């Protein structure tokens, strides 16, 4: 990645290096990139209430900011943030007399476990590395529930090619995920 | 009303279909048929080890099957509500506000079959691909999936027409008929080719 690359195009390791160098734009990107992830762990994994969730959220990013230099492996940003978030959630639960995250308390029906959140986040990260055309078509089919006909009409593509295009983009996504594992 | 039909035993679902005057009805049956057709395509792709894109077809078929299954319940709920409003209308107790409500309920009852028809067309498209690129051993299953999807799309388009009580120019009906046509053409191509 080049010196002047947009923060959104940077790998985690590059983003961490820029943050350490005091790049405010990079810090903004880091928060943007991980805010949904942190919030998902807090709210879906541990089911904290709104006020506690807000406190943990603020505290996690404060800790990330102040302790970023202590992160030994820059590419391990995500597990580090996940660990910080879990610890803070457990602190809050312990202070209220609960000791387990919601999915352990309530069983499998309580929602996705933290591993699923990690997977969802990894997919989201890998998606960003695909071409815009692939991101667009996968988003339309899987996130917006659009039919092949609608996708074909709106992207001005032959209707008969949509399923194959989606399949090829999924193949690229899979390769990207395998590469990062 | 509005059960998750995938949680039922097949026999129980069929018994519910035959229960007098209540959901599930034709829309739910069409949705479940689309889901079954999608799962067949998924099976064909899963067994086609030399097909590079098979994994991507499996993922799409599974996604469509899940959407169709959800629509089976959505349709049942919408139809029960429309049916209640229709009974009120038949009893002659509807005022102007009630008439508008009935119209909205019928519109809602047309929305699910419209989506079911669209998913039927998508499954037929996937089945055509599976038939062309998948393992030859399973071509007949792919063609069967297309035929099932086309039948379901036709049934769903019919329900759209009836629920909208329609003028031929309604764009929703045009969309449903386009889905029906697309699925029918694909299925006919596969079945008539002897796949």
CATH code of the domain made up of B25-192 = 1.20.120.680
Tens digit of each residue's pLDDT (9 = 90 or more) over B55-79: 999 999 999 999 999 999 999 988 8
Residue showing tokens 């998913």: B119
CB contacts under 8 A, B 133-172 vs A, are none
* Average confidence (pLDDT) over A103-116: 52
Report d(CA A26, CA B121) in Å as an integer. 45
Output Rg (C-alpha) for chain B, integer angstroms. 18
Given an 8 Å threshold on Cβ–Cβ distance, is B56 in contact with A141?
no
**DSSP 8-state secondary structure symbol assigned to residue B167:** -
Q: What is the Cα–Cα distance from B65 to B149, expressed in whole angstroms?
A: 11
Q: By three-state DSSP, how is residue B117 classified?
A: helix
Minimum mean pLDDT among A97-101, B69-73, B158-162: which range? A97-101
At residue A113, the pLDDT reads 67
Q: Is the pLDDT of residue B98 over 80?
A: no
Q: Is A162 on the interface with B (CB under 8 A)?
A: yes
CATH T-level fold of A1-112: Rna Polymerase Sigma Factor; Chain: A (1.10.1740)
CATH of domain A129-181: 1.10.10
Angle among Cα B124, B127, B130 to the nearest 5 degrees reads: 160
Percentage with pLDDT > 90 across chain B:
61
Alpha helix segments (H runs only) across A68-147: 77-95, 102-106, 114-128, 132-138
From residue A16, how far is each of A73, A122, B93 by CA, in Å?
Answer: 10, 17, 69
Whether B56 and chain A come into contact, CB under 8 Å, resolves to: yes
Q: How far is A158 from chain B (nearest CA, A)?
A: 12
Number of CB atoms found within 10 A of residue B63's CB? 18
Residues of A in contact with B119 (CB under 8 A): 147
Which of B56, B119, B179 is facing A170, going by the closest CB pair? B56
Q: Do B121 and A142 touch (CB under 8 A)?
A: no
CA distance A136 to chain B (A): 15
Indicate the residue of A141, A149, A171 with minimum beta-carbon distance to B118.
A149
Inter-residue long-range contacts of B95-99, CB under 8 Å, 24+ positions, other chains counted: none
Extents of the domains making up chain A: 1-112, 129-181
Confidence at residue A172, expressed as pLDDT on a 0 to 100 scale: 94
pTM > 0.90:
no
Whether A105 and chain B come into contact, CB under 8 Å, resolves to no
| pLDDT score, position B61 | 98
Find the mean pLDDT for residues A149-163.
95
Average pLDDT, chain B: 90
Contact call for residues B178 and A149 (beta carbons, < 8 A): yes
Contact A50, A106 (CB under 8 A): no
Within 13 Å of residue A155, how many CA atoms lie on the same side as its CB? 24
The pLDDT of residue A180 is above 80: no
- Does A134 contact B at CB distance below 8 Å? no
What residues in A contact B63, CB-CB < 8 Å?
141-142
Contact A161, A169 (CB under 8 A): no
Mean per-residue pLDDT, B184-192: 94
Domain ranges in chain B? Answer: 25-192
Answer for the pair B111, B152: CB distance below 8 angstroms, yes or no.
no
């Amino acid at each position: 990645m080049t010196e002047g690359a947009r923060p959104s195009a940077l790998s985690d390791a590059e983003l961490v290096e820029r943050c350490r160098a005091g790049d405010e734009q990079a810090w903004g990107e880091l928060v943007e990139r991980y805010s949904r992830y942190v919030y998902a762990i807090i709210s879906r994994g541990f089911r904290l209430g709104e006020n506690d969730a807000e406190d943990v959220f603020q505290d996690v990013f404060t800790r990330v900011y102040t302790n970023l230099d202590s992160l030994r492996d820059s590419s391990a940003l995500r597990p580090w943030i996940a660990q910080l978030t879990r610890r803070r959630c457990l602190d809050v639960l312990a202070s209220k007399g609960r000791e387990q995250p919601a999915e352990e308390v309530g069983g499998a029906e309580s929602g996705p476990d933290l591993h699923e959140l990690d997977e969802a986040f990894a997919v989201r990260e890998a998606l960003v590395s695909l071409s815009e055309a692939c991101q667009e078509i996968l988003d339309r089919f899987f996130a917006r529930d659009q039919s092949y006909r609608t996708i074909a009409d709106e992207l001005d593509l032959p209707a008969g090619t949509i399923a194959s295009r989606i399949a090829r983009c999924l193949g690229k996504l899979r390769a990207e995920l395998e590469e990062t594992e | 009303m509005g059960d998750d039909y995938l949680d039922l035993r097949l026999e129980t679902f069929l018994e519910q279909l035959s229960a007098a005057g209540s959901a599930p009805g034709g829309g739910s049956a069409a949705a479940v048929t689309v889901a079954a057709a999608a799962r067949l395509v998924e099976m064909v792709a899963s067994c086609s080890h030399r097909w590079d894109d098979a994994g991507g077809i499996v993922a799409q078929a599974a996604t469509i099957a899940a959407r169709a299954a959800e629509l089976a319940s959505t349709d049942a709920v919408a139809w029960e509500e429309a049916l209640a409003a229709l009974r009120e209308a038949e009893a002659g107790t509807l005022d102007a506000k009630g008439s508008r409500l009935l119209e909205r309920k019928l519109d809602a009852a047309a929305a699910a079959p419209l989506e079911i028809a669209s998913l039927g067309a998508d499954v037929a498209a996937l089945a055509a691909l599976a038939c062309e690129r998948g393992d030859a051993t399973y071509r007949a299953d792919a063609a069967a999936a297309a035929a099932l999807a086309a039948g379901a799309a036709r049934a769903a388009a019919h329900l759209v027409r009836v629920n909208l009580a329609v003028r031929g120019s309604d764009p929703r009906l045009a969309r449903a008929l386009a889905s029906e046509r697309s699925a029918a053409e694909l299925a006919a191509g596969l079945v008539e080719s002897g796949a």
